[in-house]
Chain A
Amino acid sequence: MSDFLRSYLTVAIFGGLAVGMVAVMLGVGRFLRPDRPQDQKYLTYESGVDPVGTGWSQSQIRYYIFALLFVMFDIEAVFIFPWATRLEAYGLFGLVEMAIFVFILLLGLLYAWRKKVLRWV
């Protein structure tokens, strides 16, 4: 085994220890705790109130489009911050590249606006 792979042995041992510890703790708990099953214990906990309806109900997702838009600007920020700190070193090339990048993302925002995504329904 090469040195490189040997250094991964540490990771494997660590992973094995983690799995082992969880298994031991849960296993010991299983043997020590009292076991008195009751139907009520299997109900969904809703702050003491009896649950109504099924767990598989449809809910309206209004936020997902905003989440998608957020990802767009988030990625923009991820690239702009490191670029801004070293703008002078990147020079004109970097400026033009970032302008193109931001412009394409702006077109995406324009598209979202025209598709009436930005309106709260």
Chain B
Amino acid sequence: MIPVLASVLAQVGDVVPIATPEVEWSAILPLVILAAGAIVLLTLGSLVPSFDQPGVPAAATVAIALASIIAAVPVWQRVQDPDRGPISAVGGAIGIDGFTVFVTVLIALAVILGALLLDDYLRREDLDGVEWYVLVLLAGVGAVIMGSANDLIVVFLGLEALSIAVYVLVAMHRTRVESQEAGFKYFITGAFSSAFFLYGIALVYGATGSTNLVAIADRLATTLALDDALLLVGMGLLLVGFAFKISAVPFQAWTPDAYQGAPTPITAYMAGAVKVGAFAAIFRVFYLGLGQYAVDWQPIVYALAAVTMVVGSFLAVVQTDVKRMLAYSSIIHGGFILIGVQAATEAGVQASLFYLATYVFVVAGSFGVVTLVAGPGDAATSLEDFRGLSARRPVLALVFTLFLLAQAGVPLTSGFFAKFYVIAAAVSVSSYWLALVAMLASVVAAALYLRIIVAMYLADADDTADRPRIRIPVTAGIALAAAVVVTLGAGVLPGLLTEVVGDAVPVLVAQP
């Protein structure tokens, strides 16, 4: 068949063939597995009625994500091999390096945690459909594309694939008005931020003559622009677009509403995956592509990080809804990860990656506990509902305490080293004030976490008498156990993770 077509095409006459890009299929296999898996899942779900039974789509999603992780192993070995090293695939639009593979695995893990939490939630809420899992996978595809993009247009494609899937997921709970409202708010602000980002791409293209990060970096390194207003404005707009996605203050207004209104397992997933995707893209665009202009964007990121941590902490402390508190806490974490961006050094990148890796598990675990405690309709999320949790479900209260302590950055949890490394990265580039602000902000934020812990442990017995019993389903139990293991593991033996993170260096590789 194909030779026949080829011979037909060859007979057309004197045609000048257009250069078609080299696709390194083996290098982008993890990404292809995630995307193809989502499509197969959707098709099977619509064709085979029995496929849409509880547990089956979740198991399929976990299998797809695991397959993607397994496929990432040979790619990791290949890019770490000194003889072969990082490569660029699909005509230079995608870069495959240790950083990319690390982000891919991290996203796949977030997908697994999200699917495990979703399974019982959908049954409890009497919702159905493989669409939830398909969208979770597609959002993951978007985040992976953002983390491997070597071209601003590809970054944007990933951003949109991620965002559109998440908008729908947030509004997916049909019977809860809050969910619809949250989806609408998230969509409006998200679309707005995409416009900023796109305008930024246009201006950077105008200033440098290319959207390819390799070409941009080359041009900025070789030519000295006398008038770089266009590039600076473009950089600023790109940063605004990203700041919306990572909910940095003052672009954080949508976060509490969207996180609170979204179905809780989706909050657990989006808090991790969206941040990983957006930060990975920030590193690729700013650290790699616009690294020559670090002197210009560092102060802005410095200010963003400081304002995010301070404002986020103070707004978080006055909240009375646990889901909303955790939403503000994710804003604060965004500020901390920005410290690593601000450093613009390899140590900064590694500190941020370490932070993101531990954060994915901590945030999935925290919102996982909230999913279980909230009960039908995600109703019981106020601080009152968590009073006396230690008497009702001692293990669940203990697990939640661990996650909250990790978020506060207490030693022996992963959060301690995450905060330690970003602050060390800030100190190493002499950003002493930022390091000081970070430490003060984490003290203020600790009050937030302690409030929840106090509510769980200090309560009268009659507070808990008439509360419905909290069910802990097996799948959610597995997700929480995995999160506990990683949180404690990275807190006691951080060396295992720092070793991997140390190899996950982002580099720019030109098209061969």
Contact = CB atoms under 8 A, between A and B. Distances in A.
Interface of A: 2, 4-5, 86-95, 104, 107, 110-111, 114-115
Contact of A90 (B20, B39, B206): B20
Nearest to A111: B46
A112 to B, nearest CB: 9
Given A88-B12, A114-B47, A2 B20 contact: no
B15 interface: yes
Among all A-B residue pairs, the 10 with the closest Cβ atoms: A114-B46, A93-B20, A88-B12, A111-B46, A2-B227, A88-B15, A89-B18, A107-B43, A89-B15, A91-B17
B42 A107 contact: yes
Contacts of A111: 42-43, 46
Given A88-B15, A91-B20, A92-B2, A5 B229 contact: yes
13 contacts: A4-B230, A88-B15, A89-B16, A91-B6, A91-B17, A91-B20, A92-B6, A95-B5, A95-B9, A107-B43, A110-B46, A114-B46, A115-B46
A114 B389 CA distance: 45
Interface in B11-44: 12-13, 15-18, 20, 39, 42-43
A35 B119 CA distance: 65
A46 to B, nearest CB: 31
Contacts of B229: 2, 5
A110 B9 contact: no
Q: How large is the interface on B (under 10, 10 to 19, 20 to 34, 35 or more residues)?
A: 20 to 34
A113 to B, nearest CB: 8
Contacts of A4: 206, 227, 230
A87 B227 CA distance: 42
A104 B206 CA distance: 34
A94 to B, nearest CB: 7
A92 B15 CA distance: 13
B223 to A, nearest CB: 15
Nearest to A92: B6
A2 B226 CA distance: 10
Contacts of A88: 9, 12-13, 15
Given A2-B227, A89-B15, A94 B43 contact: no
B457 to A, nearest CB: 48
Nearest to A106: B43
Interface in B197-252: 206, 227, 229-230
Given A104-B39, A110-B43, A92 B5 contact: yes
B227 A92 contact: no
A117 B467 CA distance: 43
B12 A107 contact: no
B352 to A, nearest CB: 34
Given A88-B13, A89-B16, A92-B6, 20 more contacts: A4-B206, A86-B18, A89-B15, A89-B17, A90-B17, A90-B20, A91-B6, A91-B9, A91-B17, A91-B20, A92-B2, A92-B5, A104-B39, A107-B39, A107-B42, A110-B46, A111-B42, A111-B46, A114-B46, A115-B46
